[in-house]
Structures are given as structure tokens and as C-alpha cells.
Amino acid sequence: MTWPSSLPFELALERARVLDQGALTMLYRRFMPVVYRFVLARVSGVQVAEDVTSETFLAVVTGIRGMRATDELTFAAWVLGIARNKVATHFRRQSTQPATRPWLPEDDQPITVADEGDPLAIITARESWAEVVAALNQLTEEQRAVVLYRCVLGYATDDVARLLDRQANAIRALQFRGLASLARHLNAAASVTSPGGKQHTVRNVRKAREEGGNGDAT
Amino acid sequence: MQPEDRLDALLSLRVHGASQPDEASSAHALNGYHGGNEDLQPLLDANDRLSALRIAEPSTDFADQLEALFLATAASMENDDGAEWTSQPHDAGWLPVREAPPLIGNDDPTLPGIPWRRMDSEATETDATPLRRLPIGSLRQTTWRRLLWSAVAAALLVAIGATTLTAAAAAGPGTPLYGLHRWEQNVQVSMASDPAARTQLHLSYAQDALAALNVAITRHQTDSTYDDALATFRDEMNAALSNLHAVSTGNGRDTLEARVAQLRTQGSSDLHTALASLPWPKRVATTIVLYNLGNMTLTVTHADLVYSSGGQHLWTITVTGSGFQSGAVLLINGQPAGTVTSVSPGALVAQLPGDDSSPSPGTIGVGNPDDTASVTSSITNHEAGDDSSGAQQTPGAQTTPTTDDHGGSGSDNSGSGSGSSDTSAATPTPSDGQP
């Protein structure tokens, strides 16, 4: 959702504090996808991501009257801070660190714009998502936050610096190390072959296509 | 340009399309590097792998349900607070109008496994929002929150307790927290290591009580403030003497004995000074403490009442005891009454007009000119011409000043068994201490 240029964000925050439904709706529609992507990058499935996103927004509405954000960025920091805490709570409930799940059930895949494309694109996106989530969980907390804010949520470097209360140079350094670490983990995951079972791979799909199949490779 | 900066600029190009001016300029500066960024290629590839997350979208169903729940929760909070509806008019046109959630009772089927938030008759349309598994998990009271509230409650109790004890530590006689203050003092005494330390503490508390008593007299606070201070002084002096007996010789006993003697002298002096400012009942209590401190005071042992009905309606009261001074007055129920006809060190005779309808006095006593006073509840009634065998005496009477109040129990002397010709109910008694 694009924030209307005619609406000062500060005014929306002011009205949201008194539980104005219109302002709350706008804030929700603006930040729900952001929070969803942030959570989805951390947890192991769509269902869990929806759960955590739901908990996050209930916490947002519960605490919005005491929220002290004055602009969009500080509000984003507040909301994403809540989301981060909810993710941590989710992992504590599991009593373990998030386990790496290279493959996910069919019905637990995220919906992307690639779903409207051909099967190859769908499977590619799903593979990439599962591996990336697992690799992201291997990063340090700071690296992961910078990579998520910068590369997934699309915030500018200076904004990330404000969100995390760090210097821009430190954000660039964290970003560099985080992506390097992410590349290492992704390469390591790619080197692991999946000899059998119902696992879709790009290679299998391409092979099926070349053989004239419908792409339903196994 | 450092690799971190080059990477940042390249990411700006890929993620944002260099939408920001400074980033765009940085990207243009990278033109010369485009052929030499192979070292960053794995990192850029990793960034590209994040595209699956960048384009992820929540399902429309989930987004709509969560939005409805989000707004319903806000409305519920507003209603719970009793706040007025604060929604602004949408005349500006920039605030979108949310579609109303489904009304209760509509015919739309509920998805399996989706409970409704509230189904009672008082539910509003916002309560009709279906709760999938999401809100149920959200509404659940998490363990950490319960622990947090427990910790907050415990901290609050500790704070209140600490504040109360702190306030009690400074509470003086006559204040509501003085009882707690005394309890703290007793705890401190019980924690003392030996009799000498306990004696020291008792003497210290007695000293404080005597100081508070003097302040009360100065401020004319002869009510509960004086009573508390006097009682504390009496109890602490008695406790100090008891513990002093357990202190072995040479263990600072001489010093403690000297301090006890000094405090006894000071207390006697201060109490004698205080007597003149006190009403008669408090003089009686103070005289008892003076007696316990070793002072020679008057004592009243018995009172004998003779009623003369031969046209005079006059009571003749003979009080026996010791230490009566010339100019002493008769006390009926703690108040001066009657006319003293004779005083000797061991007896006081007074006359009191009255009839036989007045109730029996609870106590009869004597007040000396030096403001000391003593009372007794040992009273016998006679009618003129009776002999002593017909005397009516109050049982359990107290005749000697002790640590107890003179006006103790058993004050009603109108019991049965009177040897007089009248019945006990008709036994003539002096008026209620009023002259």
C-alpha cells in the first residue's frame, strides 16, 4: 500500500493513538506486509508466520496508545521491534533454536508473485525461500537484522541505521559480512543433494520439460 | 571505494533502483567498477536469493481476517475504557472506510475450525469477527507475562511493606503505626545477642519514651500520646531491670546499673513534673509508675461507705491506706468529690451528699497535694447502725499500687449478699463521683 502523499504520517499516528479506525486501517495496510515478510524470513512456515504476524498486530493495537513514535521510521522500528520479540517468543516456545528445514510441505509455501507464473518459477521461488530462511537463521542477530531491513524490507542504509540506532558505516559493514555469510550458507545448502523423495528441484523440472513432461518432476 | 560501500551502492541499485539521489550518485560512481565487481558477485547473488522473500505476500484471506480482528480489538479497547468514539469524520477523504465485518446471524457459513469471538446476545458486529487459530494464540496469556505480573505484584508488596516499616520506624506514641514501631523494637530486642545488649536496648527505648512523654506534656497531648509513652517507659524499664538481673558481673553490669539508676531518677523527676498537667485518672496511672520506680507514694487499700438515711442523705466515706498528706482530696471514680473532714497518714474521712438511687462508684481514691493519686475498688457499704458483719465488699479489689491500673476489674460493688436491711439493688450509694 502506498502512503497517501496528502496525509501526514504524524497525523495518522496521532489519530491511531486514540484508536481511530481509519488511521488504524491505514497503518495496518501499510505495515502488515512488512511485518509479514520480516516474520516469514525468520520462521519455518506460512502458518507460523501468520500466527506471529497476528500476535504482533494484536500487541500493536494493545500498545498503540502508549506508542511514542513520531514519524514513519520510528513507528516502523516500534512495530518491527514487537515483531522481533514475537519471533523470539515463538522460538522460546519451541524451546530450541529454529531448525533448518530445507523442504517444506506443499501447503506451507509462501505466496509470491511467481505463483502466477509457470511451474518452474514457482518451484524456484519455493526452493529459494526455504534455503534462504535456513541460511538467514545462521546469521548473527545484527547481521540478520541489517540484511532483512536492507535487502528484504527495502529500507535505505541511513534508515536502517536509524532503525537499529547504529552508524551508517556500521550498517554497511554488517551488511557486507551478513551477505558474505549468507552466501556461504546458501552455497553450502546448494551443495547438499537430495537423492530422492518428493522434492522439487530446478534441475528435475528442467529435465522433465526437456523430456516433454508437464514439469511435475519428482 | 571500500568493498562495503561498493556493495551498498550496488544493492541500492538492485533493491531500490537507486531511487534516492545520494544512492543514485553512488551507483553512477560505480560505473567504472561494473566490470570489476566480481569479488562482490557472490554477495549480490545472495541478495538476489532474497527476492523470494521480497515478493512474498500474505494471503488475502489472512490479511482481511487479521485486519478485522485488529480493528475489532481496537474497538473493544475503546469500549472497555468507556471512551467516546474518537473516529474523525472522513471529510478529508484520505482515510479509507473499512468494510464492516459480517453481522451476527448472517447466513455466511463459518469456515470449519474457526471459532467466533463472541456469540452471546450482547455481541456487536465487531465481535462477529471469526478467530482463526491466529487470535487464539495471540489472546493466550503467555507465561512470561504472568510471571511479569507476579513479579510486579511481589515488588509492589515488598515496596509497600518496606515503606510501612520505614514509616513505622519513625512513628511516635499516639500514632497509628506506633504499635508496629513497638513490634519492630521487640524484634530488635529478640535479635540481641546477650542480656547486656537487650538491657541496653530496653534502656534506650525507655529513654526515647521518656523524651516523647516530656514532649507530650509540653504540647499538652495528655491523650493517647501520653498514655503510649508512659506505658512504653514503664514496660521498657521493667524489661531492662529483668534483663539486668541476667547480666553477669563484670560484663558491663556496673555501667548498666548506673544507667538504670540515672534513668530511674530522671523518670521520677519528669513524672513528678508531669503530674500537675494531668487529669486525675492519668495521675493515678503515673503514680503507679512512680511507685514502680521506687518512689514513696500514697496507697489506698480500702474504702468504707456509710449511708445515713436519718433525714440527712449523707454518705460518710472512710478511706484507709498510707501516705495521705494534709490537704488530700477524695476521689470518686477518679474525680474529686465530697468534703474531707479529717486526714491522717493512714486514713481519710470525707462526707458526700447523695441518695440511694445513685449507682455504686467503681473506684474510690485519694489525691495528695503533690498531685499523686491512688484508688481502690475494694469498697464496702454500710447503713448507719450496721455492724461490720453486714459489710458489702467488692471481690477482687485491688488495694496497693502495682504495675496494674488501680481501676481494675471488679469495680461493681453492688453484689448480693448484703447484710444491710436493704436489698442489693436498693443499696444506697454516693452519686457518681460528682460533688
Determine the residue among B53, B69, B134 to mutate to test chain A binding: the one whose Cβ has the most chain A Cβ atoms within 10 Å. Answer: B53
Q: Are residues A116 and A72 in the same domain?
A: no
Q: Are residues A190 and A126 in the same domain?
A: yes
Report, as an integer, the average pLDDT of B346-352. Answer: 91
Report, as an integer, the average pLDDT of A92-107. Answer: 56
Q: Are residues B41 and B64 in the same domain?
A: no
Q: What is the dihedral of CA B275, B277, B282, B287, to 10 degrees?
A: 0
Structural domains counted in chain A:
2
Domain boundary among A99, A129, A159: A99
Give the pLDDT of residue B17: 57
At residue B389, does pLDDT exceed 50?
no
Q: Mind telling me how many Å the CA of B83 is from chain A's nearest CA? A: 9
Whether the CB-CB separation of B413 and B379 falls below 8 Å is answered with yes
Residue A105 lies in a domain: no
Q: Mind telling me how many Å the CA of A103 is from chain B's nearest CA? A: 15
Q: Are residues B230 and B314 in the same domain?
A: no
At residue B377, does pLDDT exceed 90?
no
Of A106-120, A186-200, B160-174, B338-352, minimum mean pLDDT range: A106-120
Instruction: Determine contact: A61 vs chain B, CB below 8 A.
Output: yes
Q: Are residues B45 and B64 in the same domain?
A: no
Name the DSSP letter for residue B356.
Answer: T
Determine the residue among A3, A28, A37, A54 to mutate to test chain B binding: the one whose Cβ has the most chain B Cβ atoms within 10 Å. Answer: A54
Q: Are residues A11 and A58 in the same domain?
A: yes
Which residues from chain A sit within 8 angstroms of residue B144, using beta carbons?
89
Q: Are residues B334 and B235 in the same domain?
A: no
Residue A106 lies in a domain: no
CA distances to B316, B334, B398, B433 from B352, in Å:
6, 15, 23, 9
Closest CA to A137 of A38, A47, A35, A43: A43
Cα–Cα dist B23/B76, whole Å: 45
Mean pLDDT of chain B: 73
Domain boundary among B243, B278, B313: B278
pLDDT class of B103 with cuts at 50, 70, 90: very low
Cα–Cα dist B281/B365, whole Å: 10
Which residues from chain B sit within 8 angstroms of residue A64, using beta carbons?
74
At residue B199, does pLDDT exceed 60?
yes
At residue A144, does pLDDT exceed 80?
yes
Q: Closest residue of B to A149, CA-based?
A: B54
Find the CB nearest B138 among A29, A58, A110.
A58
Strands of the B379-383 sheet, one edge to the other: B339-344, B347-353, B314-322, B299-308, B379-383, B392-393
**Residue B73's domain spans which residues?**
60-84+93-139
Q: Are residues B258 and B323 in the same domain?
A: no
Find the CB nearest A186 among B46, B51, B94.
B46
Determine the residue among B25, B50, B98, B143 to mutate to test chain A binding: the one whose Cβ has the most chain A Cβ atoms within 10 Å. Answer: B50
CA distances to B189, B206, B282, B428 from B172, in Å:
18, 13, 19, 46
At residue B319, does pLDDT exceed 90?
yes
Contact between chains at A41 and B53 (C-beta distance less than 8 A): yes
Cell of B217: 506534656
Q: Are residues A85 and A167 in the same domain?
A: no
Which residues from chain A sit within 8 angstroms of residue B39, using beta carbons?
none
Q: Are residues B218 and B109 in the same domain?
A: no
Residue A104 lies in a domain: no
Cell of B340: 474531707
Structural domains counted in chain B:
4
Give the pLDDT of residue A213: 44
Contact between chains at A24 and B62 (C-beta distance less than 8 A): no
pLDDT class of B8 with cuts at 50, 70, 90: confident
Instruction: Determine contact: A58 vs chain B, CB below 8 A.
Output: yes
Of A120-134, B167-181, B328-342, B408-422, minimum mean pLDDT range: B408-422
Q: Are residues A199 and A179 in the same domain?
A: yes
Report, as an integer, the average pLDDT of A97-115. Answer: 50
Instruction: Determine contact: A183 vs chain B, CB below 8 A.
Output: yes
Report, as an integer, the average pLDDT of B18-22. Answer: 48
Of B193-207, B369-383, B406-420, minimum mean pLDDT range: B406-420
β-pair type (B329-332, B299-308): unpaired
Q: Are residues B214 and B239 in the same domain?
A: yes
Determine the residue among A60, A138, A176, A202 to mutate to test chain B binding: the one whose Cβ has the most chain B Cβ atoms within 10 Å. Answer: A176
Q: Are residues B309 and B355 in the same domain?
A: yes
Q: Are residues A85 and A125 in the same domain?
A: no
Contact between chains at A21 and B42 (C-beta distance less than 8 A): no
Residue B168 lies in a domain: no
Helix (H) or strand (E) holding B424, with range, is: none
User: What single letter denotes the amino acid at residue B27?
Assistant: A
Closest CA to B201 of B172, B231, B240: B240
Give the pLDDT of residue A170: 92
Contact between chains at A29 and B67 (C-beta distance less than 8 A): yes
**Residue A138's domain spans which residues?**
111-218
Read off the CATH number of the domain in which A41 is found.
1.10.1740.10
Report, as an integer, the average pLDDT of A47-66. Answer: 92
Q: Are residues A141 and A211 in the same domain?
A: yes
Closest CA to B62 of B135, B166, B149: B135
